[in-house]
Structure 1
Amino acid sequence: MDTATLRDIVKQVISQYARLTPSHGEIRLDTVFDETQNRYALMQTGWSQGCRVRGNLIYITLQDERIYLEYDGMEQGITQDLLDLGVPSDQIVLAFLPEEPLALAG
């Protein structure tokens, strides 16, 4: 798939999650689509039980005709959503995982 198609799919998936209503608190979900730099995010902001809530729920970058999942804070993850919309698995990079297994100091 080309970058324009991947961009449309990413925006579709993030927009789906943005329509959800958080189960607690007064929390707003905002989409952030930067098509110039190919950066896409779902942000949360608001209050829950007297505490401020803010941060990324999803952060994706597009580069080299691949989707880089930089952060996926959704309960079941969004990888299957991307696959269901036709994105080949070799065009999805789980960038939040290290490329090489971490060596444990012992």
Structure 2
Amino acid sequence: MDTLEQYRQIICSILIEHTKIPYSYGDIQHETIFDKEQDRYLVMILGREPVPELSPTATRRVHGCLIHIDIIDGKIWIQRDGTEDGVVRELTRVGVPKNRIVLGFRSEELRKNSEFAIA
């Protein structure tokens, strides 16, 4: 199996595991979006969460991107990571080299001073 296909499988596996972590409050669901043609991978959150400061029964809609990863030019770009422990830690734990991971959510200037790929 080639490296690109391995990266796709690793990313999908990690993101699926994140969908199994329940929210401690509210009725929040996870959705995965895997676009293997464009190499774009997301975990979206959606649902309703309580707003007790408004009233005991008030809720607000939740909709957003928890994790967004792209594969660009053979490197894994972390575009958004809203997790507590970080997707990067999971990628390196399964053997993805740090020089193949780009912290896309950081400016290029900050990426220069990290142990990860610049671009």
Q: CA RMSD in A?
A: 1.0
The CA deviation string for residues 21-56 of structure 1, in whole angstroms up to 9 with x for no partner, is: 111100101111001100000000000010101100
Q: In 2, Cα distance between the equivalents of 1:19 and 1:90?
A: 29
Seq. identity, %: 35
Q: In 2, Cα distance between the equivalents of 1:21 and 1:73?
A: 14
Which residue pairs with 1:34 in the alignment? 35
**Shift, 1:87, TM fit:** 0.4
Alignment-mate amino acid for residue 18 of structure 2 = Y
Larger Rg: 2
Secondary structure of 1:100's aligned partner: helix
Match of 2:93 among 79, 84, 88: 84
Q: In 1, Cα distance between the equivalents of 2:47 and 2:41?
A: 20
Which residue pairs with 1:48 in the alignment? 49
State how many pairs are aligned. Answer: 101
Q: In 1, Cα distance between the equivalents of 2:6 and 2:48?
A: 36
Secondary structure of 2:15's aligned partner: helix
Which residue pairs with 2:10 in the alignment? 9
Gaps of 5+ in 2: 51-58, 111-119
Gaps of 5+ in 1: 102-106
Query: Greater RCO between the two (CA within 8 Å, min separation 6)?
Result: 1
Give every structure 1 segment of 4 or more consecutive aligned residues whose post-TM-superposition deviation is greater than 4 Å: none
Alignment-mate amino acid for residue 87 of structure 1 = V
Q: TM-score, normalised to structure 1's length? A: 0.92
Q: In 1, Cα distance between the equivalents of 2:98 and 2:82?
A: 20
**Shift, 1:3, TM fit:** 1.0
Alignment-mate amino acid for residue 92 of structure 2 = L
